[in-house]
Amino acid sequence: MEAILEVSKVAKHFGGFTALHEVNLQVGRGERLGLIGPNGSGKTTLISCISGALQNDGGSIKFEGREMTGMKAFERTRLGIARSFQIPRPFKSMTVLENLMVPLAYVGGINGHKAETEAMHILERMGLAGKASTLSAQLSQVELRKMELARAMAAKPKLLISDEALAGLAGAEVDEVLQILFDLNALGITIIMIEHIMQAVMKFSHRVVCLDTGRIICEGTPETIIQNPDVQRAYLGD
């Protein structure tokens, strides 16, 4: 599988604390990759280095063969890397439609009627078309999760990093958002899923990577990962 993302010996330090220890990772174009690990394992630091929210202190990050190290987050977004956040951050005084028109204008340079049409198309895909005129502050938890994904999609990503998009959702809501991610992947979008709901990760992922204390301790198919003693030790202890 052709690699869309290549992470090579990436390190990140916060003072005397090393959050990432020369992490190596390749993600294939069109792949569904699950990224797991206990709290404090380095998952958020890694995806922040990939998306540009943080700059890595060592190593290389390449997207479609292009070196990303040193690029700002908005530059990476314009090249095709989008991220949805664990805690939705909508513009609460804006409607759902207006929330999507912001990234459409900022990232894609799309404005006016064309932006509104594109935004409605995305909302229909997310099942939010009926909420287009609703203030984002009035949305339910699952609707906020969908809108967070919709805003990421407004950037027209080739790689979508889904950061705990299922957090706080009930069973049926988890299935609903998970199906949206499956549908987005079917469109050709590569997806990295960071999630604590193990059943969802195992169902969604082609391949799973487990981080612990800033190192990749295991990677493989969902079936092999769940049986791996290092993964079990990381989550359950000795």
Tell me, what's the pLDDT at 84? 87
**CATH numbers and ranges of domains, the chain:** 3-93+143-236 (3.40.50.300)
Tell me, what's the pLDDT at 236? 60
Q: pTM (2 decimals)? A: 0.91
**Other Cβ atoms closer than 10 A to 3:** 17
In 68-214, where do the E strands start and end?
81-84, 159-163, 190-194, 207-212
Tens digits of pLDDT across the chain (238 residues): 799 999 999 999 999 999 999 999 999 999 999 999 988 899 999 999 999 999 999 999 999 999 999 999 999 999 999 998 877 778 888 999 998 988 888 877 888 888 899 999 999 999 999 999 999 999 999 999 999 899 888 888 999 999 988 988 888 999 999 999 999 999 999 999 998 888 899 999 999 999 999 999 999 999 999 888 888 887 766 5
The answer to whether 181 and 130 have CB atoms below 8 angstroms apart is no
Separation CA 27–CA 50 (nearest Å): 12
Q: Which residue has the tokens 């958002």?
A: 177
Tell me, what's the pLDDT at 222? 93
Tell me, what's the pLDDT at 167? 85
Give Rg (Cα) of the chain.
18
Q: Which residues contact 47 (CB under 8 A, 6 or more apart)?
A: 35, 83, 161, 163, 192, 194
Tell me, what's the pLDDT at 6? 98
Separation CA 74–CA 108 (nearest Å): 11
The answer to whether 193 and 201 have CB atoms below 8 angstroms apart is yes
The token duo for 20 is 């990432």
- Give 25's DSSP letter: E
- Residue 171, SS3? helix
